[in-house]
Chains A and B, each alone.
Chain A
Amino acid sequence: MSDVVAVDTRARERFPLGVWGIAMLIATEAALFAMMVGSYFYLRFKNAQWPPAGTPEPKVVVPLVLLGVLMLTAFPMWKAASSATPRRWLLLALVVQSGYFAMEVSDFRDDLRHFTPQQHAYGSIYYTLLGADHGHVAVGLLLDAWLLWKLLFGMTEFRRKAVRAIALYWYAVIVLTIVVTLTVTSPAFAR
C-alpha cells in the first residue's frame, strides 16, 4: 500500500530539531538585544552630552580589532559543523574565542576604573549591554567545552547535530557582538 504523500529526504539533512530549538533561542535573544540596543540609542538621544562630562569616550581600535578576531572564528566553527573530524576545528575555535573573552574581560575591568554604572545612565547601559554580550560569549565557551568533552567518546548522530546547533549559536553571537560593539563605540564615530 503506497502512501499518497511524498518524502523529502533533503529536509532531514538541512535542519534537525535541535537546530530549530537553538534558532528559537536565537530569535528571542535577538529580540532582547534589539530592545537593549534600542534603549541605548533612546538614552543617548535624551542626553545632550554622551558620554557625560568626565567620562572618557569609548575606545575604538581595540574593540574593533577584537571583534575582527571573533568574526574569524566563524570559519573553524563552520568547518567543525561540516567536517567528519570536528574536534580540531572546535579546539581552534575555543582557543581563539577564549583569548577574545579574556581580552574583553580585561578591557571591561579597565573601563570600570574610569567610570562605573552607578554614575550615570551612560555607564549603566554601556556595562549592561557589554556584560550581556560577554555573558553570551561565556556560555558559548562552555558549550564548546561540553562538545569537546562529548566528542572524546566518539562521534554519533546526536553529537553531529549538536555541533551544527552550537555553530549556529556562535554565528548568532558573532552577529550580536558586531551590533553591540558598533553600538557602544558609536559615540566616537558620530561627532
Chain B
Amino acid sequence: MTSVAERVDRLERQWAERPGVLGWLTTTDHKRVGLLYFWTTLVFFGAGGVEALVMRSQLIQPNNHLVGPETFDQLFTVHGMTMIFWFIIPMTTGAFGNYLVPLMIGARDMAFPRMNALSFWIFLASGMFLYIGLFSGFGPDAGWFNYVPLADRLHDPSRNIEFYTLGLAFNSIASTLTAANLIVTILKLRAPGMSFNRMPLFCFAFLAASFGLIFALPSLSVDLIFLFLQRNLGFHFFDVAHGGSSFLWQHLFWFFGHPEVYILIVPAFGIATEIIPAFTRRKMIAFPLVAIAELLVVFIGFGVWAHHMFATGLPTTTLVFFAGATSMVVIPSTIQVFAWCMSIYAGRPKFKTPLLFIIGFIVMFVAGGLTGIMFLAIPFDQQTTDTYFVVAHFHYIIFGAAVFPIFGGMYYWFPKVTGKLYFERPGQISFWIIFAGTNLLFFPMHIVGLLGMPRRVYTYPGDMGWTSYNVIESIGGYITAVGILALFTNLVVSYFRGAPAGPDPWHGPTLEWSVPSPPPEYNFAVIPTVSSAYANWDADDRERDGHRLTAGVGTLERGHEQHVSSLIDGWTSEIVDMPHSSPWPIALALALSLLFAMLVITHYLFAAIFAVVIALTLLGWHGKEPQES
C-alpha cells in the first residue's frame, strides 16, 4: 500500500518544472505565469508612475518649461494606456487571477495552461511594442481615447497612432485569452461540491470582469481596425466628407470604455471580499446580494456608455436615457459598499495592513463614486467634463478602488506566495503615507476643476488662481511615490528577512490557505471536497481530505491530471490530462510580435508571411495529443 509520502513524491516528480531559465520560458504552471505577470506589470506601473511624476513636475508651476507640448501629450497618453492596459488589467486578471483562482477552487491549473502562458508572452510583447514606440519618439499622443479627427492621418501623420492602434490590439489579444481562460476555469474546474453558490466571492468578481472583457474588448478592436484601415489603406469610417462620422469613433470607444472601468475595479472588489472575511473573522454579510451585485454591475455597465459624451451635442432625449441608465448602475455598487462596511462593523476586525488598504479603498471608492453620481446631473456634467474635476473623479476610483485593493492583496497573499511574513509596522506606515499622498494629490483636482482648469493641458496661465492647487497636487504625487517605494522596499526586505509564515497565518477562509506556502507545483495532493464558500473554515471537510489522501481517493496521481466538474452543481464529470511545460506559447507570441512589427511599418507582405508562420505554429501546438483517460 502506497504511503502518503510516496504519493506526494510521485506528484512532485510528475509536476516538476524544467530547471532554470528554460523552465520559466516554457512554463504553463498558473502560479509561475501569475508571478511573471506580477513582476512585469510592476515594471509598467513604474513607467506609468514616472510619466505621472514628470507631468506633475511640469505642472507644478504655470508656464513651466520642463517638457514641451509634444512630450507632454505623449506622456499623458501613454500614462493612461499603461496604467489601464499594462498595469491594472494584467495585474488583477493576469497576476492575482491566474495565481489564485485555481487554488481557490481546488484545481491544479487553469483550464488552458498553454494558452495562459501565451497570454503572458503576448502581453509582454505588446508592452515592449508600445514602449519601443515611445522611446523612438513615436509615442501615441492623442490621448488614451484617441478621438478622431485628431488621430487621423491628416492631423497626426506620423507613426504615433499606429503604435496606439496596433499596441492596443496586440494587448487586447492577451486580455481576451486570459478572460476566456478564467471563465472556463471558474465554470468547469471547481472542486467536487463547489456548486455555483459556494464559490468564493473573489471568483464571482473575476467571472464578471472576464465576461466584461470578452464582450467589451471587441468594440475597441473594431474601432482600432477601422482607424488602421482609414489611416493606412484610405478607408473612410470617421471622416464626414466621405460619409463617415466622428461620433462613430466615440460610440465604439465608449461602448468598450465604460465596461472597461468596471473591469478595472470589479476584480479589486473580489480581492476586498476575501480580505474582509479573513480580517474580521466572520462571513460576508448578504453574500448572495454581493455575488449578484458583482455580476450585475458589469452587466448594467454595458448600457451607460454615452454618459462620456454628454457635451457632444447628442439629442437631449438620448442624454436623459443614458443618465437614467447610469443611475441604475450605482445600485450594485452601493449594495457592495454597505455589505463591506457592515461586515467590518459586525465582525471582530484585526486592523492589519491588508485591512487598512481595504478601508482606504472603501473611503476613496465612496468619494469617487459620489462625484460619479454628480455626473448624472447632465447640466453639472456639461460644466465639469473635460476638466480636472473628472480627472479627480476617475483617479479616486482607479487609484482608490483598483490600486488600493491590489496593494492590500499584495500584503495579504505575500505569505502564501513567498512563505514568509511581511513586517507589519512598516506595512502600516506605507499605507498611511500612500493614503495621505493620494488624497493630497487628487483631492485639490476637484477644486481646480471647478475653478475651470481643463484637462490635458501642458501648462496653464499664472493668473487663474490654479497655481497653489497644482503645487499641492505635485507634492502629493511625490509623497505617493515615496509611499509606494516604502511598500515595495518592505516587501523585498520581508522576502529575504521575514519569519516563516506556514500555510495559514491569517486563518483565511479560502482553499489556498489549506496548502503549504508557497504551494507545491501540483497545488493539492488530494482534490478537496467543498460544502461552503469558506472552505478553509470547514474543519470537517479538511479532515476528510486528509483521510482521502491516506486512502488515495481523489489524488489523481497517474499523470498531470485535473478534475472537471459540472457547471452549476460542481459534480465530478471527468478527469482530464493537462499540458505541462511547452515551448509553443512563447514561439507563437514571437511570431505574433513579428506580425505586428510588420504592420506598424506597413509591410503587409511580410505580415502575411508571419500570419502563415502563426498558422504553422498552431499546427505544432496541437500536434501532441493529451493522454486518453
**Does A42 contact B248, Cβ atoms closer than 8 Å?**
yes
Interface size class of A (residues with CB under 8 A): 35 or more
Q: Using Cβ atoms and an 8 Å threshold, which residues of chain B touch A8?
A: 565-566, 569, 571-573
**Does B215 contact A1, Cβ atoms closer than 8 Å?**
no
**Does B222 contact A117, Cβ atoms closer than 8 Å?**
no
- Smallest Cβ distance from A143 to chain B, in angstroms? 10
**Does B193 contact A42, Cβ atoms closer than 8 Å?**
no
Of B179, B234, B564, B565, which one neighbours A117 at CB under 8 angstroms?
B234
Q: Using Cβ atoms and an 8 Å threshold, which residues of chain A touch B572?
A: 3, 5-8
Contact with A along B42-82 (1 / 0, CB 8 A): 00000000000000000000000000000000000000000
Of A5, A43, A159, which one neighbours B243 at CB under 8 angstroms?
A43
Of A7, A24, A142, A157, which one neighbours B214 at CB under 8 angstroms?
A24
Of B176, B188, B214, B252, which one neighbours A39 at CB under 8 angstroms?
B252
**Does B243 contact A28, Cβ atoms closer than 8 Å?**
no
**Does A35 contact B222, Cβ atoms closer than 8 Å?**
yes
Residue of B nearest to A118 (CB): B234
With contacts A3-B554, A5-B193, A8-B569 taken as known, whether A21 is within 8 angstroms of B180 at the C-beta atoms is yes
Within 8 A of B (CB), among A124-172: 124-125, 128, 142, 146, 156-159
Q: Using Cβ atoms and an 8 Å threshold, which residues of chain B touch A11?
A: 565-567, 571, 573-574
Considering the chains assembled together, what is the distance between the CA atoms of A3 and B229 in angstroms? 58
Considering the chains assembled together, what is the distance between the CA atoms of A20 and B189 in angstroms? 12
Q: B236 in the interface, Cβ–Cβ < 8 Å?
A: yes
Of A3, A20, A24, A47, which one neighbours B192 at CB under 8 angstroms?
A3
With contacts A1-B548, A20-B188, A31-B215 taken as known, whether A43 is within 8 angstroms of B244 at the C-beta atoms is yes
Considering the chains assembled together, what is the distance between the CA atoms of A128 and B331 in angstroms? 39
Q: Which of B222, B226, B567 has the largest number of chain A CB atoms within 10 A?
A: B222
**Does A39 contact B222, Cβ atoms closer than 8 Å?**
yes
Contact with A along B209-228 (1 / 0, CB 8 A): 00000111111011001100
- Smallest Cβ distance from B523 to chain A, in angstroms? 18
- Smallest Cβ distance from B238 to chain A, in angstroms? 9
Considering the chains assembled together, what is the distance between the CA atoms of A118 and B236 in angstroms? 7
**Does B529 contact A27, Cβ atoms closer than 8 Å?**
no
Q: B547 in the interface, Cβ–Cβ < 8 Å?
A: yes
Q: B390 in the interface, Cβ–Cβ < 8 Å?
A: no
With contacts A6-B569, A42-B248 taken as known, whether A24 is within 8 angstroms of B553 at the C-beta atoms is no
Of B180, B187, B548, which one neighbours A28 at CB under 8 angstroms?
B180
**Does A28 contact B574, Cβ atoms closer than 8 Å?**
no
Residue of A nearest to B574 (CB): A12
Q: Which of A29, A34, A35, A36 has the largest number of chain B CB atoms within 10 A?
A: A35
Contact with B along A7-40 (1 / 0, CB 8 A): 1111110000100110011011101101110010
Residue of B nearest to A121 (CB): B243
Q: A65 in the interface, Cβ–Cβ < 8 Å?
A: no
Of B187, B222, B547, which one neighbours A32 at CB under 8 angstroms?
B222
**Does B566 contact A36, Cβ atoms closer than 8 Å?**
no
Considering the chains assembled together, what is the distance between the CA atoms of A9 and B564 in angstroms? 11
Considering the chains assembled together, what is the distance between the CA atoms of A120 and B237 in angstroms? 8
- Smallest Cβ distance from A129 to chain B, in angstroms? 10
- Smallest Cβ distance from A12 to chain B, in angstroms? 4
Within 8 A of A (CB), among B147-198: 176, 179-180, 183-184, 187-188, 192-193
**Does B235 contact A124, Cβ atoms closer than 8 Å?**
yes
Q: What are 24 A-B residue pairs whose CB atoms fall within 8 Å in the complex?
A: A1-B544, A3-B572, A7-B571, A8-B569, A11-B565, A21-B111, A21-B184, A24-B184, A31-B218, A31-B219, A43-B237, A46-B243, A52-B243, A117-B235, A117-B236, A118-B233, A118-B235, A121-B236, A124-B230, A124-B244, A128-B225, A128-B226, A156-B625, A159-B625
Residues of B within 8 A of A (CB): 111-112, 115, 176, 179-180, 183-184, 187-188, 192-193, 214-219, 221-222, 225-226, 229-230, 233-237, 242-245, 248, 251-252, 255, 529, 531, 544, 547-548, 551, 553-554, 564-567, 569-574, 576, 615, 619, 622, 625-626, 628-629
A-B pairs with the 10 shortest C-beta distances? A121-B243, A11-B573, A24-B180, A32-B218, A5-B192, A8-B571, A31-B218, A124-B235, A118-B234, A158-B625
Having A5-B193, A8-B566, A28-B180, one finds 12 other A-B pairs with CB under 8 Å, namely A11-B567, A20-B111, A20-B184, A29-B218, A32-B222, A39-B222, A43-B248, A119-B236, A121-B245, A124-B237, A156-B628, A157-B628
